[in-house]
Amino acid sequence: MPNVLGLDSSTQSLSAVILDTDSGEIIAEDSVNFGNDLPHYHQPHGYDESGVNGEVHANPLMWLEALDLLLGQMRESGVDFSAVMAVSGSGQQHGSVYLRSCFGEKIAALDSAQDLKGQLAGCLSRESSPIWMDSSTRVECEEVAAAVGGDKNVCAKSGSIAIERFTGSQIRKFSKINPRAYAETGVIHLVSSFLASVLAGKNVAIDHGDGAGMNLMNLAAGEWDEDLVNATADGLVEKLPPLAPSATISGPISPYFVEKYGFSPTCETVIWSGDNPCSLIGMGAASPGKLVISLGTSDTVFAAMPEPRTDPNGFGHVFGNPAGGYMSLICFKNGSLAREAVKEEFDLGWEAFEKEGLAATPTGNGGLMMLPFYEPEITPRLDTGGPIFSQEAKPSAEQSVRAVLEGQFLNMRAHFGWLGVEPTRVSITGGASANDGIAQVIANVFGVPVDRLDVPGSAGVGAGMRAAHALGGNLAELEAAFCQAKEGSTIEPEAGAKAVYDEMLVKFEGFLGEQG
């Protein structure tokens, strides 16, 4: 099997890994941080922080500039892209890009002497892209649900109730507030299919894994649901790309990338998927039996499912599994940004956050609990106006560190029971997975061993594995090569900790209920 490239366009960065599928090694990796490397967009965390009423948008031109920058700096460092035989990617789920009909023509005729941003800026019918953090579409969600007979019907069709951050409600809002621009829109892509189209030099399909995060796809049929599409916006079906299985090859890479970065003209492009479906693959969890926690800007809990099962409370979601079948996912909006908020409030480095903060406090924090919702939370749907503690006295830095972590993982335990799974192991990924203290809290709260991958960026690795799989690679062999736990990195739960958290969970659920 040949070398493959996996890309990951996340909230805060664009990353790349090249997998040597013969040796089972990652032979190159690099990343562009939007805030640090592209400061002229004034989006330090990868999105515009000036939005009001729950609006959170990002600039899609930033993603294009990042792609040029990333591939350019990799080539300058000596990466030989001519050896890459397939490329696929992972995109932050739910984000949408609105483009005029000229987009297809433009990407088919890209000039390698110019950059992507300059050539494609005129194709945008909407200058900004609403992303997964956007919570401004409650009214639109209610309108769609009412049109199809209620949220239970939306969930039965699409795998999720109507959700603010999902793409359908965002499209509906755009069609209402700017009908002229909506009418000028020829195609609406997800972040994943947008960048996949640029690489392929033509409009490509949305895969079932990412398409299921739109409230528009019929989960059982794998096609756009007529009722949901019609309830969302007039003429929408004509603006949506087709849907396709995740292993779909969309053709050879665009000549732009051959001429500019040295890719082989026979390099195949494979349609992208969402970051969570790609992480499922990258964590070796494509088959049922493993619980995965991804620690990122948002935290997510996900697992493969042999059949779809829906959350009766409407917090969990069912998506397409890129390897076939289904996967469950529960998203918690207050992830790394909440942990970083505590770190910054007390001017702590990550070492102090881990060692001093946790070492100085007992398991269970002496009963002190925190609802770590610095932003309006989506699981559960709760806007507390900021973090809330279970005591009036201001906690110390050490107590706050433990409280934010225990609050996050108790909240996870409180909301994954509908899966009907008692995990025997938990695998973690994402930047925070390297932190021993955070991993220890997870092991203690869930009461099972915690494994970590050699490479925390499982979405990019999963994208590369998907590229290899589409070329005929054996998924089990790819998992054995790239999805093993880092040697010596498994964290065992501490004796007696699970009992403390079992009791604390009951109190935490009551604390949550008081705020609802």
pLDDT in tens, 48-105: 999 999 999 999 999 999 999 999 999 999 999 999 999 999 999 999 999 999 999 9
**Distance of alpha carbon 444 from alpha carbon 426, whole angstroms:** 11
The answer, yes or no, to whether residue 454 has pLDDT greater than 80, is no
- Contact assessment for residue 7 and residue 89, using Cβ atoms and an 8 Å cutoff: yes
The answer, yes or no, to whether residue 206 has pLDDT greater than 70, is yes
Burial class of residue 255 in the structure, from the number of CB atoms within 10 Å of its CB (0-12 exposed, 13-18 middle, 19+ buried) = middle
Give domain limits for the chain.
3-277, 284-452+486-516
Query: Kindly report the CA angle at 431 between 348 and 49, in degrees rounded to 5?
Result: 75
For the chain, give the longest Cα–Cα distance: 65
Here the tokens at position 371 are 């609802």
pTM summary value: 0.83
- Contact assessment for residue 243 and residue 220, using Cβ atoms and an 8 Å cutoff: no
List, for residues 35-54, the tens digit of each pLDDT value. 999 999 999 999 999 999 99
Name the CATH code of domain 284-452+486-516 (choices 1.10.8.420, 3.40.50.300, 3.30.420.40, 3.40.50.1000).
3.30.420.40
Q: Class of the 3-277 domain?
A: alpha beta
Query: Kindly report the CA angle at 156 between 155 and 160, in degrees rounded to 5?
Result: 25
Comparing C-alpha atoms, which of 2, 166, 160, 195 is closest to residue 89? Answer: 195
pLDDT, the chain, mean: 94
What's the confidence (pLDDT) of residue 46? 97
- Contact assessment for residue 285 and residue 303, using Cβ atoms and an 8 Å cutoff: yes
Among the listed ranges 156-160, 217-221, 432-436, 493-497, which one has the minimum average pLDDT value?
A: 432-436
The answer, yes or no, to whether residue 499 has pLDDT greater than 80, is yes
The reply to whether 284-452+486-516 shares the fold of 3-277 is yes
Here the tokens at position 69 are 């920058």
Query: Kindly report the CA angle at 358 between 354 and 362, in degrees rounded to 5?
Result: 170
Q: Which residue has the tokens 């989960």?
A: 219
Query: Kindly report the CA angle at 334 between 59 and 326, in degrees rounded to 5?
Result: 85
What lies within 8 Å, CB to CB, of 316 at 6+ separation is 160, 310, 328, 329, 330, 379, 415, 416, 418, 419
